Amino acid sequence: MTLVDTARPTAKRFDRRSLLPWITTPLLVALLIWLWQAYVRGSHISAFILPSPEAVWSAWLDLLASPRAWEHAATTVYETVIGFAWGLVIGVGLGVLIGRIAWLEKTLNPFIVAIQVVPKVAFVPLFVVWFGFGVTSKVIVSAVLAFFPILTNTVLGVKSVDIGHRDVMTSLNASRFAVFRRLELPSSLPYIITGMEVGIVLALIGAIVGEYLGGNSGLGYLLIARMNAFETDGLFAVMLQMTILGFIFYFGIGLLRRLLIPWHSSAGLEREP
């Protein structure tokens, strides 16, 4: 069994270099907060412009204690998740078709490029006009924003399926569906998940921007309300809440990456023999 030893992965995962960020990141954050605190104290700047870190902290605790604020967060989560799900389903579906069918890609490519260049948030007022001030318009904005990175990554994934792998499936006389299920889908999964990582963050942005413009619910609405009330510390607290939400979504997709593609180096898993 000497062969077993030579094939073992030799890299140790938790060496000094991979531990370093765990120390530097909190230190840098602490340094920034300290600078912020020092600036607020030293410059006597108005609390309407820049509240102190303590004020933001207590406003954030208030937010956590308020059931109404949790409802706002729930609205934003709902819009983001539903919008993202639509963007995912349509993006992957269309992406697979475009990646496989050359004439479809040639036909649609000019439109895709054109729409990518357009700043899509410009459409948000139009969606509000069309779909009202409720959650629907926000879900649609989320879906549209999440859709494009997922689409382009899926197309890329399907098109970069290894020629040699295709040869294997051809030599096995595999059906078109078998090729899709056993080759194209798993092979594009790392690309699709990368698209999802970008897409989920954009979906959140879409929901929030939609809430800025209309309705009376969601963290975006809450943020505008705090702004109008000159509660700058509360505004910071809502921003913090949004940031935390973004992190949770992003790491959720990261978790999905580890679950779905443990074989891929991007999952960062090295199996212990």
C-alpha closest to that of 76 among 242, 225, 254: 242
C-alpha closest to that of 199 among 105, 86, 75, 108: 86
Q: How far is the CB of 11 from other proteins (least distance, A)?
A: 12
Asked if residue 238 binds other proteins (CB under 8 A), the reply is: no
Q: How far is the CB of 249 from other proteins (least distance, A)?
A: 25
Separation of alpha carbons 74 and 63, rounded Å: 13
Q: How far is the CB of 47 from other proteins (least distance, A)?
A: 55
Asked if residue 161 binds other proteins (CB under 8 A), the reply is: no
Range in contact with other proteins (rule: CB under 8 A) among 4-12, 36-44, 208-216, 234-242:
4-12
Residue that is written with structure tokens 């594009």 in the block: 188
**Terminal C-alpha separation, the chain:** 13
Phi, psi dihedral angles at 74 (to 5 degrees): -60, -40
Q: How far is the CB of 88 from other proteins (least distance, A)?
A: 20
| Closer Cβ to other proteins, 71 or 167, answer by number | 167
Q: How far is the CB of 223 from other proteins (least distance, A)?
A: 42
Contacts of 197 (CB under 8 A, 6+ apart): 250, 253, 254, 257
Length of the chain: 273
Asked if residue 10 binds other proteins (CB under 8 A), the reply is: no
Separation of alpha carbons 147 and 158, rounded Å: 16
Residues 131-160 that bind other proteins (CB under 8 A): none
Residues 199-228 that bind other proteins (CB under 8 A): none
Helices and strands in the chain, H and E counts: 12, 0
Asked if residue 9 binds other proteins (CB under 8 A), the reply is: yes
| Closer Cβ to other proteins, 110 or 273, answer by number | 273
Residue 265 identity (one-letter amino acid): S
Of 15, 49, 110, 173, the one binding other proteins (CB under 8 A) is: 173
Q: Which residues bind other proteins (CB under 8 A)?
A: 1, 3-4, 6-9, 162, 164-165, 167-168, 170-174, 178, 182-183, 186-187, 189, 261, 263-265, 271
